[in-house]
A and B are shown apart, each in its own frame.
Chain A
Amino acid sequence: AQKVTQAQTEISVVEKEDVTLDCVYETRDTTYYLFWYKQPPSGELVFLIRRNSFDEQNEISGRYSWNFQKSTSSFNFTITASQVVDSAVYFCALSESTSGTYKYIFGTGTRLKVLA
C-alpha cells in the first residue's frame, strides 16, 4: 500500500544547528515521485523539491540538501545552519501513477522550530 511516514512530529533546534527531517515511504510502483513542501505560519504550502525514482543522486540547494535512498525507502531533508525563518511544518509526499490512476499521498508533517 502507498504510505508516507514522517515519524518526527516536532523538532526544536537552536539557530545555526543542522537538522534532518526524516521521510520513509512505501510503494509497489517502480516509477514514482517524491516531494518536499514547506508550510510556513501563513498556511500556504511551498514546493521545495521533486525527485523521481530513477534518480538517486543527492541534491543540494543552498542550505537545503536531500538524501534519497531506495534501499531504505527514505527521502530525508537536511537544513544546514538553520535559521529562524526555517520554522515551519514540512511535508513529504509520494506520487505514483498506475494505469492512469491518480495517487498522491502526504505524510503527517514535521513541525520545525528554530530558536534564536
Chain B
Amino acid sequence: DGGITQSPKYLFRKEGQNVTLSCEQNLNHDAMYWYRQDPGQGLRLIYYSQIVNDFQKGDIAEGYSVSREKKESFPLTVTSAQKNPTAFYLCASSIGPRGLSNQPQHFGDGTRLSIL
C-alpha cells in the first residue's frame, strides 16, 4: 500500500542531544512537509520541500534542520538548539511542484518526542 511511514513512533531526547525523525513516502509525491503539533495550537509548519535537493523554512524552523537527498525521504533533525522540543511531529506529502498548493496533503502517523 502507498503511504507515508514515520519512525520511530516514540522518541526520547537527552539534554544537548540531536535526534533525527525519519519520514519515507512511496506515493511518488514531489512535495514533503514537517509539522509540529502542540496541544491547543494546531499544526505549525517547520520545513517543507517542493523538490529534491531543495527545501524552505516554515514558520518555526529555528532549532530544526532537514535534508532532501531523495524524493522518497525527508528526515527532520531536532537539534540541541531547540529548547522546547516536546511535541508531536507529523510528516506529510503532496503532489506537485512549487505553487500547486491546491493539493491535499497525506500524513504519516507521527512521532511523539519527549525530553528525558
Does B100 lie within 8 Å of A97, measured CB to CB? Answer: yes
Q: Tally chain A residues at the interface, Cβ within 8 Å.
A: 24
Tell me what chain A mostly uses at the interface: helix, strand, loop, or mixed. Answer: strand
Which residue from A9, A97, A108, A109 sits with its C-beta under 8 Å from B101? A97
Q: A residues engaging B (CB < 8 A)?
A: 9, 33, 35, 37, 42-47, 50, 52, 91, 95-97, 100, 102-104, 106-109
* Also in contact, A33 and B106, with CB within 8 A (given A102-B48, A108-B40, A109-B42): no
Which of chain B's residues has its CB closest to A31's CB?
B102
Task: Give 17 new A-B contacts, CB below 8 A, not counting A47-B106, A52-B102, A96-B101.
Answer: A9-B40, A33-B101, A43-B88, A44-B109, A45-B43, A45-B107, A50-B102, A50-B104, A97-B102, A102-B50, A102-B56, A102-B98, A102-B101, A103-B101, A104-B33, A108-B40, A108-B42
